[in-house]
Amino acid sequence: MKKILSLAMVFMIILVSCKKNGTTNNITIVNTNGIPAFIVTGLGNITMINNTTSYSYIPITVQYEDSAQEMVSLSLSGLPAGVVMDTTWQSSGYPTFSTNIMIYDTTAAGATPGTYTLTLNVTSPNRGTKAFTFTLTIKNPPPCTPSVVRNYVNCQNCSSGGYYADSVYADATVENKVWFTNIDNTHHLVYGMLSCYTGVVTIPAQTVSGVTYSGSGNFYSYYMNISLLINSVSCYTYIE
């Protein structure tokens, strides 16, 4: 009888031991050091060309790592003036989830070239904020002066009619600035500014030998159409 009882007690001890081990294997390891229990993958540096409507983007994933999960929110700081973030990105969720950081230039003249440090802040209510830094490099588009620099032989004289010849050359120091050597057949040297993305040439107001010129138009591969103001009198010239 004692032998039977001893065997029963041994069996109960084995059962208790098995249950205890099973419970230990299922315990969730709680992260207590204040670091959010997730990582962000895919984050990297961005290079964008200013004054374009195309997006620059990085696909990222907020990856589950350990411990009980909670809602995570994302925010981005450090964008330079005129550069904005698309508002359709997923800015919160429970890890694991993926989203795109998409930014674009909204300025008319183009955002200021340079390298900027951006910060992606990833925050959960009970675990604080984890900050991830990366860089945004903004570059000017390649100059488009080669597309307009040449001799033009069929230029329409908008003041008096008829045709004349003109030549256009690039400024030596200012990008996308060009000079007309014989604007409207006056032999006056007048400059214009090219907007490469829009294909617009602008002649800022400038006075040469008592004559004030201004205007704007479009440039193409082989010709330009420009609406001029000459001493406040409007006319239209076609330069080919």
Report, as an integer, the average pLDDT of 13-25: 32
d(CA 130, CA 124): 9
d(CA 182, CA 166): 5
Cβ contact 135:114 at 8 Å:
no
Please, what is the average pLDDT of the chain?
Answer: 80
Using a pLDDT cut of 90, give the percent of the chain over it. 30
**Is 2 in a helix, a strand, or coil?**
helix
d(CA 48, CA 113): 9
What is the dihedral angle through the alpha carbons of 140, 144, 149, 154, rounded to the nearest 10 degrees? -140
pLDDT digits (tens, 9 = 90+) for 74-106: 999 999 988 988 888 899 999 889 999 989 888
pTM score of the predicted model: 0.56
d(CA 143, CA 146): 8
Output the pLDDT for position 170.
94
pLDDT at 7 over 70: no
Using a pLDDT cut of 70, give the percent of the chain over it. 82
Q: Which residues contact 226 (CB under 8 A, 6 or more apart)?
A: 201, 203, 215, 216, 217, 236, 237, 238, 239
